[in-house]
Amino acid sequence: MFVDEAEIEVQAGRGGDGAVSLRHEKHVPRGGPDGGDGGRGGNVFAVADSHLRTLIDVTYRTHYRAEDGRRGGSNRRRGRRGAEVEIRLPVGTVITGVEDGRRVADLAHGGQRIQLARGGRGGRGNARFATPERRTPRFGEKGEPGQTRRLRLELKLLADVGVIGLPNVGKSSLIARVSAARPKIADYPFTTLVPNLGVVRLEENTSFVIADLPGLIEGAHRGAGRGHDFLRHAERTRLLIHVLDVSLPDRDPRKDFAALNRELALYQEDLAHRPQLVALNKIDLRPPEDDLLRVEDFVRQQACGVHRISAVTGAGLSALMGHCAQLLEELPPAPTSEAQAEVAPEQPHKPLTKVVELGKGCYRVTGEAVERAVVMTDLENEEALRHLHRRLERMGVIRRLRELGAKDGDRVRIGAVELDFVE
């Protein structure tokens, strides 16, 4: 599949820390804890924008980070939630994870909004840990880190304008002249083996995607030449530029025009009625004026317009591209694809409690819940560590470590943290 590609990193916001606060108000004896929860970190979303045509914006900015949640306050005040980030991408963008290769989303429709990274949960303030036995807890939770992901973006070939024509009529030269694409150009047939995609920029806010569709010859609808491969991409264009070589004295461009349109109709009837502009190429070789007039009269009855151009010198290309931009403003959106939005299911949870012995006196504990509990614990606070120990007991981690023979002082790795085992 022929795509524009980009790779980005998205990072959701970290949750705000929970506050540790005790009431100190006049005439309020034993006020107790009143620390509030931290705010959740901001999420990162992808939004399909039907006005965008390329991934050029994300090639300049490759890192997107949402705002962290704010810390909780006294009087049980919750911290503010972190601001979200939206990445606007063109319709047709396929998003996959770099590490696992799993598809995250296929942005098939304008306005789609897909969550790419989830913000971390805010930590609980000390007011949430008060119990009849522990009336003045002096610890709170740290905010949970937000998700970080590297993502690959691939834009399917959703070109606004498709350039068609028989081999060696100058399609690659045309696209090389009007865009930054650099296709292979030579004087023998089937020089181009894959479609070339380029972006035509006319003004600051006016641009469109153009693609040459090579390999089209008589019999293309049956697969001759690589016809099926490239006719399939022509289905997704809104406008066709039909390039004719008017420099050959032994060929009639009118027959070439009719033959290729017949192939379009045989492959898909709708393609034969797709709006077309005809480009009479190689006028720099000075073909007879009478021949040009006859070709223009013939095709003008069946196309939106006829332009004399030279892909080598650039003559007539500005008028042709301007006509394309004008028609694209009037034409309806590209034919809808059968592809529907596809969102990958959430990653399966890691086992809640999995304890393995790495070696003598060293153990590893894995699991989403237990790793989250550790990363949100203030490991510098002794009271918080005792609370973590009780949580690990409830999860069955301590029991499992005892069964494996853990003793005081043994090392226990949980995520990126290494702790001492204490009975």
Asked if 350 and 368 touch (Cβ cutoff 8 Å), the reply is: yes
pLDDT (0 to 100) of residue 297: 92
3-state SS assignment for residue 394: helix
Report H helices in 222-288.
227-234, 253-267, 269-272
Angstrom distance (rounded) from CA 71 to CA 91: 38
Closest CA to 257 of 294, 207, 232: 294
**Amino acid in position 339:** A
Q: Domains in the chain, ordered, with CATH?
A: 3-156 (2.70.210.12), 161-330 (3.40.50.300), 354-420 (3.30.300.350)
Angstrom distance (rounded) from CA 17 to CA 19: 6
Rounded to 5 degrees, what are φ and ψ at 351? -55, 140
pLDDT (0 to 100) of residue 204: 67
Rg of the chain, C-alpha, whole Å: 32
Kindly tell me the number of DSSP H helices and DSSP E strands found in the chain.
Answer: 10, 18
Reading the chain (423 residues) residue by residue, the pLDDT tens digits are: 344 689 999 999 999 999 999 987 777 776 789 999 999 999 999 999 988 877 888 988 999 999 999 999 999 999 999 999 999 998 878 899 998 888 898 887 889 999 999 999 999 999 999 998 888 899 999 999 999 999 999 877 667 898 988 888 888 889 888 887 665 444 434 444 456 777 888 876 788 888 887 656 555 444 444 444 556 667 778 899 999 999 988 889 999 898 888 888 887 787 878 899 999 999 999 899 999 999 999 988 887 799 999 999 999 999 999 999 999 999 887 654 443 444 444 444 445 578 888 888 899 999 989 999 999 999 999 999 999 999 999 999 999 999 999 999 999 999 889 999 987
pLDDT (0 to 100) of residue 209: 83
Asked if 173 and 191 touch (Cβ cutoff 8 Å), the reply is: no
| DSSP code at position 15 | P
Angstrom distance (rounded) from CA 282 to CA 245: 6
pLDDT (0 to 100) of residue 16: 97
DSSP class per residue in 213-226: -----TTGGGTGGG
Residue 404 burial (CB count, 10 A): 11
Angstrom distance (rounded) from CA 226 to CA 242: 18
**Amino acid in position 305:** G
Exposure string for 132-155, b = 16+ CB within 10 A, e = fewer: eeeeebbbbbbbbbbbebebbbbb
Strands of the sheet with 196-203, listed across from one edge: 196-203, 206-212, 161-164, 239-245, 276-281, 305-308
Angstrom distance (rounded) from CA 205 to CA 210: 16
pLDDT (0 to 100) of residue 233: 62
Asked if 38 and 70 touch (Cβ cutoff 8 Å), the reply is: yes
pLDDT (0 to 100) of residue 183: 52
Burial of residue 211, with CB atoms counted within 10 A of its CB: 0-12 exposed, 13-18 middle, 19 or more buried: buried
Angstrom distance (rounded) from CA 2 to CA 226: 14
Asked if 126 and 20 touch (Cβ cutoff 8 Å), the reply is: yes
